[in-house]
Amino acid sequence: MSNVTPATTDYSRQREMTMNPLRAVPSSPADNTPVDEVTNYEILPQQLLKSLLQGTAISLFLAIVLFFIRGSFTLKDMAIALIYWAVIIGGYGLLRLDKLVWLSHGFIAFFWLSLTIFMIFYGSDRMPNPGAYTVVILICVVLLRGRVATVYTVISIISGVLIGAAARLGYIPLFVLNRDEPIYIMGTMPQAFIVFSLFAITYHSVRFTLKTLRFNEQDLQRIRQTLGQRTLDLSVTNNQLLQEIGERQKAETKLEQQRAFLREIIDTIPNYVFVKDADGRFLLTNKAMAAAYHGTPEEMEGHTGRKFNPHTEQMARFEAGDKAVLASQKRDVLA
């Protein structure tokens, strides 16, 4: 009878799933899982945060260069630029310290605040307008999700409504720009920076989302292949177990037939046939032996002869003979 050895497959890779991408564990494909020549990049929030900081820094640089070329870069613009540079450098510091949650909250809050302050000072009838809050909500959904995204969505809607109402009532803008500017959507350096940043943030957020979706699709394909392999292995193991059970049942049936045949043989023998253990209990008796004690083989098995033979002296002699046979380990033929 053969031993069953279930087919084994390397399932060492187990992906830790979490709803918060800032705590996601990078995944790698299974060793022997072909997946359409796929690039094994890792989807990490650090990549998105780094890209957002880089895009913001480039946007600020382009805004400064643009206004230098136009000859309208003022001391106020320089002070604002220095503040933005300090914030960006602080963001890189948090990134190096792996303070991803702090960096995410800080980046989203600062960008939301910049949009709001700009619309209060320069109005909402130009770029950026309250519709730019959708970009804030987008990066909030990608980075933080959950309640934080809901909170930013609510306060963005409320802020947009209040800014629009204040503009209609004439409370804002606090500063009126020259609408005859050749580039009206970039009338100030902060405005140019925010517009450039909106494009950069939108691009990197959408790109990150698409890469994440693609990665999840590939990971789902790997999971399906792994489940398919496990199902196949379980099917093979199940077939082996069924075969083993069938062989065991056949062996047990054959053994039972052999026992029945042996019982039939010893019951037809007119001589006494019995087997005892070391304590003198009958393990096996034939019908002739049982008839001598006025019982059946089933009644005698498991008991000593004293239960069926009241002659104490005779039973003592029989027991002494049994012990002598056990001690000598030799056959003793009774006449």
**Is the pLDDT reported for residue 266 higher than 70?**
yes
For residues 76 and 176, membership in a common domain is answered with yes
Residue 170 lies in a domain: yes
Q: Kindly indicate the confidence band of residue 56, based on its pLDDT and cuts at 50, 70 and 90.
A: very high
Q: What is the DSSP track for 143-162?
A: HT-HHHHHHHHHHHHHHHHH
For the chain, the farthest-separated pair of C-alpha atoms sits apart, in whole angstroms, at 137
What is the per-residue pLDDT across 64-77, written as a single tens digit (0 to 9) for each?
A: 999 989 888 899 99
Whether residue 103 is found in the same domain as residue 211: yes
Within a domain: 145: yes
Instruction: Please answer whether residues 207 and 54 qualify as being in contact, where contact means their C-beta atoms are separated by less than 8 angstroms.
Output: no
Q: What is the pLDDT of residue 44?
A: 73
* Predicted confidence (pLDDT) at residue 319 exceeds the cutoff of 50: yes
Q: Average pLDDT of 277-300? A: 83
Tell me the pLDDT band of 136, cut-offs 50, 70 and 90: confident
Number of domains in the chain: 2
303 and 205 in one domain?
no
Distance CA 24, CA 43 (A): 9
Residue 81 pLDDT grade (very low, low, confident, very high; cuts 50, 70, 90): very high
pTM attached to this predicted model:
0.55
- Residue 258 is assigned to a structural domain of this protein: no
Residue 70 belongs to some domain of the structure: yes
Residue 184 clears pLDDT 80, i.e. is over it: no
Token pair of 185 as six digits: 């959507």
| pLDDT band of 46, cuts 50, 70, 90 | confident
Same domain, 156 and 207: yes
Q: Is 77 part of any domain?
A: yes
- Average pLDDT of span 219-226: 84
Residues 278, 175, single domain; the answer is: no
* Statement to judge: residues 107 and 209 lie in one domain: yes
Does residue 236 form part of some domain?
no
Residue that is last in its domain, among 198, 213, 231: 231
- Domain final residue, candidates 214, 231, 248: 231
Specify whether the CB–CB gap between 132 and 198 falls below 8 A: yes
Domain end residue (candidates: 179, 206, 231): 231
Rounded CA separation 91/89 (Å):
5
- Mark whether 281 and 196 lie in a shared domain: no
Mark whether 93 and 216 lie in a shared domain: yes
Q: Are residues 163 and 284 in the same domain?
A: no
Res. 62: pLDDT tops 90: yes
Domain that holds residue 109: 43-231
Residue 285, SS3? strand
Main-chain dihedrals φ then ψ at residue 183, nearest 5 degrees: -120, 80
Residue 245 lies in a domain: no
The Cβ of residue 254 has, within 10 Å, a number of other Cβ atoms equal to 10
Q: Are residues 218 and 281 in the same domain?
A: no
- The string of pLDDT tens digits covering residues 12-43 is 333 333 334 444 444 444 444 443 433 444 45
Q: What are the phi and psi torsion angles at 285 (to 5°)?
A: -140, 155
- Please indicate, yes or no, whether residues 211 and 319 belong to a single structural domain of this protein: no
Residue 129 maps to a domain:
yes
Same domain? 79 vs 173:
yes
